[in-house]
Each structure stands twice: as structure tokens, then as C-alpha cells.
């Protein structure tokens, strides 16, 4: 267990939020943690068939949902965009 | 509809005081941010990465002069800006009146050549001395560890600037009355070269190059400034013998501002003398700076006409001032 | 009257440089404090201040200014006004006074730096007035704030805010310490006067005084105007300094000073004045929007001043035009939703009528920032107040120490810049903030933002720890200034379910 903070910007939110994650969390876990904390708080619920993806801020391609943060080499205070696919 | 709101009688920081706070305390205390963290006077990289934080660590936090809370210092005059401007406006009106009256009666035309020599060499070059005092006070206000001290030093700086301008004013008048002399032309040369002024100049330059806040305060407010002021007092006193009643009156008025500096300086010494080694620290600095100050007084006063005993009187006044401070045995 | 005219003797009081011989130049002008940029002394001596005033005239004029401000009649009018003031106006007053009182007083020391370590005699003298002015500005504003204290304990922060680690105070200290307090005397003069006073104080003081007058707070308006006339006088130090630098091969340095300080202060004023003008000023009293004021006074007027001095417009000028329509809107959301981290009572100020005004002044506002407010409003309507507070904290810019924000809602645009240095990641809200960091990393790299401290063990893990660290005891934690009774308009309480 190694917890650390990263910064996530969920689609629709006005800025980045600092989310506490674990190096063994998958990208899907991070997306879930972020949307759990911000959907219905600063961002309206997404349409039911929305698929949320994460990418390193500034990157073109999404990260693989099943990869762990450790595996993706996502370190302390990295910034991720979480956006609706399509 | 609005949220229930409570008031407070006074600032929380002053609530423990028994007496109701004065306007001075209300508007002058507790405003200093640079005295909170030893390594990080300023909200940037700490010392030693940021040179300025290193400067304040060395010259303020690690000064030999120590106190657990400098923000508890109070100016005995409780001087605030709006009272300062009101007071000085009254004094400047008085000085305007003096200048006006004396100009009306052609005062400068009637001054004796012997006295004009004194004015050229020992009076008008003092605008450089005033500049040094102005700069010294400016250093104090930016380095002192309490907002009450910044205010006191700030008003002192204003006073020095006041007299810088008054000397400039008189220099122009004297030049107009005596264009054949060196007024308004030779002051810098005299400040740099005239024997009688070199003691004062040396004292001022070394004071200006002193950066530990405690020593800078001692060197300026307890030694160099009072020494310079005593030479001014003697000049004013001598002026009476040469019918220069204008200069005598101007000097008397200047001494009011000098006394203000001494009052808050005395209070600062009293405030911290009982803590740690401060008493011996301050005395040590006074002992270090006095030889230069005495030399400055002696060389200046020696150039005054009928100067016998004058330097001794001035030096004795300086000693008396030191005896009045809380550091004396 | 046989007194001399000022012009007859004024120059003599500026002939005050001499050649030292008992202490060296280096000893008298140490590097940390002083920089002559290789420009000879006789050139510094050409510094010519446009507005000349004698000490004699200064004390007379300043005494007169204070008579009106401190009159008993004015004090009574203020007390009456405050009692009836809306939560809007109270929030504005609390925010303004808590920030400016110590900041103004603190500036006295910057002018002290100029007097002691500047090379130009004219500048020394003008900076002496600057020191006195800033003591005035600190004291008069604290005096006004004190009168409100008996009605509202929030004003205690006017006296004590500078001593705290509150995130907004950290932001303001970082900016002011950077431009005004940790530079050599000449650079500090250019940065304070050009980057803050000439460029922005109009924004806070002139605009605010117009709004105050409309609100009926006349003595506040008069006091602010009198401060602004002081500013105009001592801010004039900047231009002659820039001219001397430009004319002596130091144009690049002067440009950089203006570029750095302007941006640092823009960020501060976008939060202080942006929230003040577009949200806290009651709708019926608003004159210009922040964007309109910036376009006319800053992008327009100040931009022309910069060019007239021989400098170029800062490289980020186009980005500024975008920032004035976005940044403060994002900050306002954060200030409200994280209201416990504020010492005053923040207001949302997005009732239907206010949203209409925002849409008019910032076309697209409802579809962007308005979308976040839609969610907040809905939660309030349903009585889910706890859902109006996000659990995770915001990312903070390591330069301006405000939130790293972009565009929200339908035109969502995540914005973040970073630098990795010595194993640490630094975040920035924009390119200019990052650029400033990269110019002089040693100056900034050792500092930790409030968020860095939240996660490096400096602050305990609970919200309570965070708020206590920031100096906020229980009653000092912000709540909605209208107790949520604003979503359908201020005269329309929220209907019970």
C-alpha cells in the first residue's frame, strides 16, 4: 500500500482536483474515484452510456483502463484529464 | 436571510490588554509578516536559496539583539500618520513664518563674513549629512522586526527629509544674497574634503554599511544620529552669537524632531534591555561606535568660532543620553 | 510673502550623491540589496520625477485629506451604512480590507529599500513620500475596518490575516514578497510601481470607489479616492527608472521586470477585483465588469504607457485577453464551494438575475462556468448542502497559489503546466506563471504551496487540521453569506421540500 496524491480534471469541472490514489489502483479505479467525488457536486451526471477515459494531461491517447498507476509510471502529483470518449 | 453575525470589542490580538486600545495600537500593531519564520522571512524559497531570506536570517533572526515578541513594542508618542502630518504641518507653517519674516528684513545680507564662512563650510554641506540620516532611517524601517518599529523609523525618515529640504532652501537663499561665495556650488566638495566634516562623514558611511538590525539601530539612533544632532545644536547655539537668529530658531525646531527619535529609541532599549544579553550587547555596540562619534563631534566643533569647550559640552550631552537609557548600571 | 518658490531650491535637494571613502561602494551597496546595472551614477542622477512636491506641501495636503476621512460625521454615516449593508457588500468589504491593510503597510518597507539602496537622489526622495503614504494607507484602512469589527468579527482578519497560513494570504504574500520585498532597490521600484501601482491599483481603488459611491458608502469611496491620488504620486517612480534602464542598454532587463511583476499582480487582482467587481458588488451597483475595466484601463491605457516608455507589450498580452474572461470565474466557484477555507462569508452571487448579467458581460458564461453552478444550485434546491462542497481539494498553482483552472462545462478545457525539478513536480495555472518560475528556479523551488503541505505531512490529514493550520477556528470558517437563500433570487427564499 503506497498512497500518494495526483491531480485529476473531470470533464466539465472548472479545474484540477487532488485525488488520493494507490500505486496498485488501476486507471479505471482512478476514474471511478474521481467521478464518485465530483459527479453531482461540480459536474452533472453523464448520460448512461458514457465511457470515461483518462489520459496524461497534454497527451493525445487515453491510458489503458486495466493498467495500474505503477505500471503506467504515474507518479506523485501527475496530472490526468478524465473525459468522455467519443 | 443573512447568517447570524457576532461582533468583537477589539482586535483579538489586543484583547488581553487591560486598557482599551488606543487608535495607535489599533492601526499600527501586528502588521509585520517578515518576522514569523527564521529561514523564511519572505514567502519564497527559504534561506539560503533566496539571498534576501538569508539576509534577514543573518541580520534579524540571528542578531545578537533578541526578544520573543518585538511586535509588543510601543512608541511612547503613539505617533500615527494623521497626527504626524498634522503636527508637521503646524511646524512647517512656523518654519515658513520664520523664513518669510527673515527674508523680509534682509537677514542674510546682514550676516558677517566670518559667519558666512561657517555657513558655507559647516551648515549648507549638511544636506549630505541629512541624506545619510534619511538613508539610515530608510534601512531601519525595512529591517526592523515589528510594524510599530517600521512606523517609528518611517516618521524619522520623513523628518530627516524635511530638514534636507530646509537646508536646500536656505542654501539657495544664501546663494542669492551672497553669489560670490560657494553656496549651492561647493557643498559636495566640502562634504568630501573639508577637515571639519570628515569625522561626521566617516561616521555616516560606516553607519550606513552596518546591516545587523540591532547594531544598525544602535549605531544610528543611539550614537551617530544623536552625535550629528548635537553638532547641529552647537551650530545653532553659536549662530546666536553671530546674530543668525534664523538658524538658531531653525535648529531649535529641528531638535524637536530629534527628540522624537530619542524618545522611541529610549523606549526600544527599555523594552528589550531586560531580556537575555541585550543590555551588554547594546552597551558593547555603543562602546564600539562612540570613539568615531566623539571624533566627529570634536573635529566639527573645533571648526566653530569660539569653540572652546563646545565639543566637550556636546559629548557630555551624548553621554548623558546614554546614561538615561535602561542599559546603564 | 517672501518665500521662495519650490522650483528655486528643489534641485538642490536632489544633489545629494557623494563619493564615499570610508566605506566601499560594495559595502554601501551590497548585491542582495542594490543593483546599478552598470549604469554610471551621473546617469542615475538624471532621474526626474514628473510630479514634484515639497515636504512642506506634502504634510499640508495630506493633513487636509485625512480631515474628511476621519470626521465624526463620516464615522457615524459609515456605521449606519454598514448595519444595513447586504451580505454582498459585507463580503466585499471583508475581502478588501483583510487583504490590503497589511499589504499596504508592508509596502512602506519596499519604498525604504528604494530610498536606501536606489542610486538616484530624486528616487530616494520620492520613495520617502512613498513610505509615508503606505503607512497612511495601512493605517486609514485598518481604522475603517476597525469600525466594522463591533458589528462583525470577520474584520479581525484585517489585523491578523498577515500572520496566518491561510491559502489566500499565502498567495498574496508570495506575489508581493516576490516583486516588492526580495529584489534590489531599483528592480523593486520598477516592479512595485509599474507592475502593481500604475497598472492595477486603479482597478481596485477607482472601480471600487465608484461602486461604493453607488452603494451609498460615500466615505469609503472618498477614502479610496484619496488613496488613489497618493498612488498616482508615488507610482511615478517607475517610469523614469524604466527610461534610464532602456536608454542605457538595459531594455531587456526592464522588459522582464515589467513582464514578471505585471503578471504576478494580474493574478492577485483577478481574484480580488474580479470576484469583487463581478460577484460581490451588488448587481444594481455594478458599473463595469472586470473584463470591461481591464480592457479600458489596463490593456488599453497601461498598454499604451508601456509602449510609450519604449518597452514592448508583455509577450503574454494575447493570453491576458483570454484570461480576463475566464480565470476569476473559475476562482469564484472555488472560493464558494470551498467556503470553509475562507475567513469571511462567501456568496455565490449567481441568482437568476446575476446570471443574466454574467451572460451579457461574458457571452457563453452559462454554458461554461454556469454548468458547475447548475449542479451546486440543484443540490441546494434539494437540501443537499453537503454535496455543494467537493471532498478532494483543488490543485494549486506553485506560482500564483490560486487554483489551477481552465474552462468548465460545455467548452471544457483542462489547463495545467508543470516543471519537474530535483525530484519534485511543480504545477502552474498558465504559461506565464511557469515562465516566471523557470527564469529563476532557486527563488521559488524551496517554497511549498498549501497543497504541497497538505500532502507532505506538514498538515494533518483531517479537514479540521487543514483549517486550524490556516488559522481558522470553528467560528472563523466561511459559510454561505445568504444561508443558501439565493438560488431563485434574493427575495425568494428556497421553498421547503
One DSSP character per residue, C252-321 reads HHHHHHHHHHHHHHHHHHHHHHHHIIIIIS-GGG--S-HHHHIIIIIIIIIHHHHHHTTPPPPTTHHHHH
pLDDT number for residue B154? 98
First vs last C-alpha separation in chain C: 80
Contact C394, C334 (CB under 8 A): yes
| Residue A46 distance to chain C (closest CA, Å) | 12
Nearest neighbour of B88 by CB, restricted to C59, C66, C178: C59
* Domains and their CATH numbers in chain C: 34-476 (1.10.620.20)
Query: What pLDDT is attached to residue C382?
Result: 97
Residues 203-262 (C) with a CB less than 8 A from some CB of B: none
Between CA B38 and CA C489 the distance in angstroms is 50
Does B1 have pLDDT greater than 50?
no
Q: What is the pLDDT of residue A1?
A: 64
Measured distance CA(C70)–CA(C136) in Å, rounded? 12
Sign of CA dihedral B7, B11, B12, B14: negative
Do A37 and C387 lie within an 8 Å CB cutoff? no
Q: Do A16 and C375 touch (CB under 8 A)?
A: no
Average pLDDT, chain C: 94
Q: Are strands A3-10 and A17-22 parallel, antiparallel or unpaired?
A: antiparallel
Q: Which chain C residues are Cβ-neighbours of B147 within 8 angstroms?
A: 105
Question: CA C271, C275, C281, C284: dihedral to nearest 10 degrees?
Answer: 140
DSSP bridge pairs for A15:
C405
Q: Residue C494 pLDDT > 80, yes or no?
A: no
Please give the Cα distance from C166 to C157 (Å, whole number).
11
Contact flag C56-B165 (C-beta cutoff 8 Å): yes
Task: Report DSSP state, residue B22.
Answer: P
- Residue B160 C-alpha, separation from nearest chain C C-alpha, in angstroms: 10
| Domain boundary assignment for chain B | 76-323
Residue A28: give the domain boundaries. 3-84
DSSP, collapsed to helix, strand or coil, labels residue C478 as: coil
The answer to whether B11 contacts C475, with C-beta atoms less than 8 Å apart, is no
- Chain C residue closest in CA terms to A6: C395
Q: How far apart are CA B109 and CA B115, in angstroms?
A: 12
Chain C residue with Cα closest to A5: C455
The closest alpha carbon to B301, from B222, B225, B233, belongs to B233
Residues on chain B touching C480 (C-beta within 8 angstroms):
3
Radius of gyration for chain C, computed over Cα atoms and rounded to the nearest angstrom: 23
Chain C nearest-CA distance from A9, in A, is: 6
- Of residues B144 and C216, the one with the higher pLDDT is B144
Say which CATH topology domain B76-323 has.
Ribonucleotide Reductase, subunit A (1.10.620)
Q: Edge-to-edge strand order for the sheet containing A17-22?
A: A17-22, A3-10, A79-84, A52-56
Task: Determine which of C330, C331, C364, C414 to mutate to test the interface with A (most A C-beta atoms within 10 Å).
Answer: C414
Q: What is the pLDDT of residues C140-179, one digit of tens each?
A: 999 999 999 999 999 999 999 999 999 999 999 999 999 9
- Supply the pLDDT for residue C401: 98
Q: Does the beta-carbon distance from C116 to B9 stay under 8 Å?
A: no
By CA distance, what is C328's nearest residue in A? Answer: A14
Residue C429: closest CA among chain A residues belongs to which residue?
A15
Contacts 24+ apart (CB under 8 A), C61-65: C62/B81, C62/B85, C62/C132, C62/C136, C62/C230, C63/B82, C63/B85, C63/B86, C63/B89, C65/C226, C65/C229
Averaged pLDDT, B26-32: 96
Indicate the SS3 state at residue C380. Answer: helix
Q: Tell the residue number behind the cell numbers 494507490, with chain if given.
A: A22
Q: What percent of chain C has pLDDT over 90?
A: 83
| pLDDT, tens digit, 9 for 90 and up, residues C250-302 | 999 999 999 999 999 999 999 999 999 999 999 998 888 999 999 998 999 88
Report the alpha-carbon distance of residue C425 to residue A78 in Å, rounded.
8
Q: What are the percentages of helix, strand and coil residues in chain A, rounded to 5?
A: 15, 35, 50
Identify which of C235, C69, C112, C93 has the alpha carbon closest to the alpha carbon of residue B80: C69
Q: How far apart are the first and last CA of chain A?
A: 34
A7, A40, A78 ranked by CB distance to C375: nearest:
A40
Among chain B residues, the shortest Cα distance to C109 is held by B142
B195 — contact with chain C (CB < 8 Å)?
no
Q: Is C484 helix (H, G, I), strand (E, B) or coil?
A: coil
Residues of C in contact with B13 (CB under 8 A): 159-160
Decide if A16 contacts C391 (C-beta within 8 A).
Answer: no
pLDDT (mean) for B48-67: 98
Rounded distance, CA C203 to CA C294, Å? 8
Q: How many helices (H) and strands (E) does chain A have?
A: 1, 4
Dig out the grid coordinates for B268 from the structure.
526600544
Interface check for C325 against chain A (CB to CB < 8 A): the answer is: no
C-beta atoms of C405 and A15 within 8 A: yes
> If you count residue pairs, one on B and one on C, with CB atoms under 8 Å apart, how many are there?
277
C1 pLDDT tier (thresholds 50, 70, 90):
low
CB B285, CB B219: distance < 8 Å? yes
Rounded average pLDDT over A30-34: 98
Within an 8 Å CB–CB cutoff, is residue C394 touching chain A? yes
CATH number at residue A62: 3.10.20.270
Question: How far away is chain A from the Cα of C482, in angstroms, using its nearest Cα?
Answer: 20
Q: How far apart are CA C378 and CA A41, in angstroms?
A: 10
Cβ pair C28, B208 in contact under 8 A: yes
Angle CA C362–C368–C370, to nearest 5: 85
Q: pLDDT at position C84, please?
A: 83
State chain B's mean pLDDT as an integer: 96
**What tens digit of pLDDT does each residue of A54-78 get?**
999 999 999 999 999 999 999 999 9
Cross-chain Cβ contact C425/A76 below 8 Å: yes
Q: Which residues of A touch C394 (CB under 8 A)?
A: 15-18
How much of chain B, in percent, has pLDDT values that exceed 70?
98
Question: Judging by DSSP bridges, how do beta strands C424-428 and C417-421 pair with one another?
Answer: antiparallel
In angstroms, what separates the C-alpha of C153 from chain B's closest C-alpha? 5
* Spatial separation of the C-alpha atoms in residues C190 and C179, rounded to whole Å: 9
Cβ neighbours for B49, distance < 8 A, ≥ 6 positions apart: C442, C443, C445, C446
Q: Which residue in the block uniquely carries the three cell numbers 494549486?
A: C396
At residue C74, the pLDDT reads 80
Burial of C256 (0-12, 13-18, 19+ CB in 10 A): middle
* Res B86 pLDDT > 50: yes
Neighbours of chain B (3+ CB pairs under 8 A): C
Residues facing A6 on adjacent strands:
A19
Mutate to test the interface with A, among C271, C395, C448, C451 (most CBs of A within 10 A): C395
Three-state DSSP at A5 gives strand
| Cell numbers given for C327 | 480565470
Chains contacting chain A through 3 or more C-beta pairs under 8 A: C
Decide if pLDDT at C244 tops 50: yes
Q: How far is B312 from chain C (nearest CA, A)?
A: 25
Question: Quick one: which of C247, C137, C264 has its CA closest to C188?
Answer: C264
At residue B328, the pLDDT reads 67
Number of C-beta neighbours around residue B68 at 10 A: 7
With contacts defined as CB-CB under 8 Å, which chain C residues touch B5?
151-154
C-alpha dihedral over C457, C458, C464, C470, to 10 degrees?
-160
What is this structure's pTM?
Answer: 0.97
Distance from chain centroid for Cα B214? 15
> Does the pLDDT at position C207 exceed 80?
no
Q: Structural domain tally of chain A? A: 1
How many of the other CB atoms lie within 10 Å of CB of B285? 22
Q: Quote the cell numbers at residue B49.
A: 536559496
What is residue C203's predicted lDDT score, i.e. its pLDDT?
A: 73
Contact B208 C28 (CB under 8 A): yes
pLDDT at residue C453, as a whole number: 98
Contact C124, C182 (CB under 8 A): no
Asked whether residue C215 carries a pLDDT value surpassing 90, the answer given is no
pLDDT-derived band of residue B3, with 50, 70 and 90 as boundaries? Answer: low
Q: What is the per-residue pLDDT across B193-246, written as a single tens digit (0 to 9) for each?
A: 999 999 999 999 999 999 999 999 999 999 999 999 999 999 999 999 999 999
End-to-end CA distance of chain B: 65
- Helix pair angle (B81-104, B147-177), 10° resolution: 10
* Cα separations in angstroms, C17 against B124, B253, C43, C158: 15, 26, 12, 40
> What is the rounded CA–CA span in Å between residue B97 and residue A34?
76
Mean pLDDT, range B168-179, rounded to an integer: 98
pLDDT digit string (tens) for B144-154? 999 999 999 99
Amino acid at each position: 500500500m503506497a498512497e500518494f496524491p495526483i491531480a485529476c480534471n473531470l470533464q466539465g469541472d472548472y479545474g484540477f482536483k487532488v485525488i488520493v490514489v494507490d500505486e496498485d489502483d488501476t486507471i479505471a479505479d482512478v476514474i471511478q474515484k474521481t467521478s464518485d467525488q465530483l459527479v453531482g457536486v461540480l459536474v452533472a451526471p453523464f448520460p448512461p452510456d458514457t465511457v470515461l477515459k483518462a489520459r496524461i494531461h497534454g497527451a493525445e491517447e487515453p491510458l489503458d483502463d486495466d493498467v495500474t498507476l505503477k505500471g503506467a509510471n504515474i507518479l506523485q502529483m501527475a496530472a490526468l484529464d478524465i473525459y468522455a470518449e467519443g | 436571510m443573512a447568517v447570524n453575525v457576532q461582533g468583537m470589542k477589539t482586535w483579538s490580538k489586543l484583547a488581553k490588554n487591560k486598557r482599551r486600545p488606543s487608535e495607535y495600537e489599533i492601526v499600527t500593531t501586528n502588521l509585520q509578516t517578515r518576522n514569523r519564520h527564521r529561514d523564511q522571512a519572505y514567502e519564497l524559497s527559504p534561506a539560503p536559496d533566496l539571498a534576501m531570506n538569508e539576509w534577514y536570517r543573518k541580520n534579524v533572526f540571528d542578531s545578537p539583539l533578541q526578544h520573543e515578541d518585538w511586535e509588543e513594542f510601543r512608541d511612547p508618542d503613539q505617533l500615527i500618520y494623521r497626527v504626524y502630518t498634522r503636527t508637521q504641518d503646524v511646524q512647517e507653517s512656523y518654519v515658513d513664518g520664520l523664513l518669510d519674516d527673515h527674508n523680509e528684513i534682509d537677514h542674510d545680507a546682514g550676516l558677517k563674513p566670518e559667519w558666512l564662512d561657517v555657513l558655507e563650510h559647516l551648515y549648507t554641506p549638511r544636506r549630505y549629512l541629512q541624506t545619510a540620516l534619511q538613508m539610515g532611517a530608510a534601512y531601519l524601517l525595512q529591517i526592523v522586526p515589528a510594524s510599530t518599529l517600521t512606523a517609528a523609523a518611517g516618521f524619522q525618515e520623513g523628518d530627516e527629509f524635511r530638514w534636507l529640504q530646509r537646508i536646500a532652501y536656505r542654501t539657495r537663499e544664501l546663494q542669492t544674497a551672497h553669489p560670490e561665495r560657494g553656496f549651492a556650488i561647493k557643498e559636495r566638495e566640502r562634504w568630501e574634503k573639508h577637515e571639519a566634516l570628515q569625522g561626521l562623514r566617516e561616521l555616516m558611511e560606516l553607519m550606513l554599511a552596518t546591516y545587523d538590525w540591532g547594531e544598525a539601530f544602535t549605531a544610528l539612533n543611539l550614537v551617530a544620529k544623536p552625535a550629528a544632532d548635537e553638532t547641529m545644536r552647537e551650530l545653532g547655539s553659536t549662530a546666536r552669537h553671530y546674530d543668525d537668529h534664523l538658524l538658531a530658531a531653525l535648529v531649535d525646531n529641528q531638535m524637536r524632531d530629534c527628540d522624537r527619535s530619542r524618545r522611541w529609541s529610549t523606549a526600544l532599549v527599555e523594552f528589550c534591555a531586560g531580556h537575555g544579553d541585550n543590555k551588554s550587547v547594546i552597551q558593547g555596540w555603543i562602546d564600539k561606535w562612540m570613539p568615531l562619534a566623539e571624533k566627529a563631534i570634536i573635529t566639527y566643533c573645533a571648526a566653530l568660532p569660539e569653540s572652546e569647550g563646545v565639543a566637550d559640552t556636546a559629548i557630555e550631552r551624548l553621554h548623558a543620553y546614554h546614561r538615561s537609557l535602561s542599559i546603564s548600571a | 510673502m517672501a518665500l521662495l518658490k519650490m522650483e528655486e531650491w528643489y534641485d538642490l535637494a536632489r544633489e545629494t550623491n557623494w563619493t564615499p571613502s570610508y566605506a566601499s561602494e560594495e559595502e554601501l551597496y551590497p548585491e542582495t540589496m542594490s543593483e546599478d546595472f552598470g549604469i554610471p551614477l551621473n546617469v542615475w542622477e538624471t532621474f526626474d520625477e514628473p510630479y514634484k512636491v515639497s515636504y512642506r506641501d506634502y504634510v499640508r495636503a495630506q493633513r487636509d485629506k485625512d480631515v474628511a476621512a476621519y470626521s465624526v460625521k463620516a464615522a457615524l454615516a459609515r456605521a449606519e451604512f454598514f448595519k444595513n449593508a447586504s451580505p454582498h457588500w459585507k463580503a466585499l468589504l471583508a475581502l478588501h480590507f483583510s487583504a490590503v491593510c497589511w499589504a499596504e503597510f508592508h509596502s512602506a518597507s519596499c519604498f525604504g529599500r528604494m530610498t536606501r539602496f536606489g542610486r538616484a537622489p530624486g528616487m530616494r526622495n520620492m520613495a520617502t513620500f512613498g513610505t509615508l503614504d503606505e503607512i497612511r494607507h495601512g493605517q486609514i484602512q485598518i481604522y475603517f475596518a476597525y469600525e466594522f469589527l463591533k458589528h462583525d468579527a470577520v474584520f479581525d482578519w484585517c489585523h491578523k490575516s498577515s500572520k496566518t497560513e491561510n491559502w489566500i494570504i499565502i498567495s498574496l504574500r508570495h506575489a508581493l514578497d516576490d516583486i516588492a520585498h526580495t529584489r534590489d532597490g531599483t528592480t523593486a521600484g520598477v516592479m512595485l510601481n509599474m507592475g502593481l501601482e500604475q497598472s492595477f491599483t486603479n482597478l481596485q481603488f477607482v472601480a471600487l470607489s465608484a461602486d461604493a459611491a453607488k452603494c451609498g458608502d460615500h466615505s469609503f469611496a472618498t477614502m479610496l479616492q484619496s488613496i488613489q491620488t497618493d498612488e498616482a504620486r508615488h507610482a511615478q517612480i517607475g517610469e523614469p527608472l524604466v527610461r534610464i534602464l532602456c536608454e542605457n542598454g538595459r531594455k531587456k532587463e526592464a522588459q522582464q521586470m515589467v513582464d514578471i511583476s505585471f503578471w504576478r499582480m494580474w493574478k492577485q487582482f483577478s481574484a480580488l477585483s474580479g470576484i469583487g467587481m463581478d460577484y460581490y458588488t451588488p448587481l444594481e451597483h455594478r458599473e463595469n465588469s472586470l473584463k470591461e475595466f481591464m480592457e479600458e484601463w489596463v490593456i488599453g491605457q497601461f498598454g499604451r504607457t508601456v509602449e510609450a516608455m519604449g518597452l514592448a507589450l508583455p509577450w503574454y498580452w494575447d493570453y491576458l485577453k483570454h484570461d480576463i474572461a475566464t480565470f476569476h470565474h473559475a476562482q469564484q466557484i472555488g472560493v464558494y464551494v470551498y467556503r470553509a477555507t475562507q475567513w469571511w462569508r462567501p456568496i455565490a452571487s449567481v441568482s437568476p438575475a446575476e446570471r443574466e448579467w454574467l451572460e451579457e458581460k461574458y457571452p457563453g458564461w452559462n454554458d461554461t462556468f454556469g454548468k458547475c453552478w447548475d449542479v451546486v444550485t440543484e443540490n441546494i434546491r434539494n437540501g443537499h448542502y453537503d454535496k455543494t462542497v467537493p471532498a478532494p481539494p483543488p490543485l494549486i498553482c506553485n506560482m500564483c497559489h490560486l487554483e489551477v483552472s481552465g474552462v468548465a462545462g460545455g467548452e471544457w478545457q483542462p489547463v495545467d503546466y508543470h516543471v519537474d525539478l530535483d525530484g519534485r513536480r511543480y504545477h502552474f495555472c498558465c504559461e506565464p506563471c511557469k515562465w516566471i518560475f523557470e527564469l529563476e528556479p532557486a527563488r521559488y523551488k524551496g517554497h511549498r504551496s498549501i497543497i504541497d503541505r497538505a500532502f507532505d505531512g506538514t498538515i494533518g490529514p483531517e479537514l479540521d487540521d487543514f483549517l486550524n493550520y490556516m488559522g481558522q477556528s470553528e467560528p472563523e470558517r466561511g459559510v454561505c453569506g445568504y444561508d443558501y437563500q439565493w438560488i431563485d433570487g434574493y427575495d425568494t427564499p428556497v421553498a421547503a421540500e
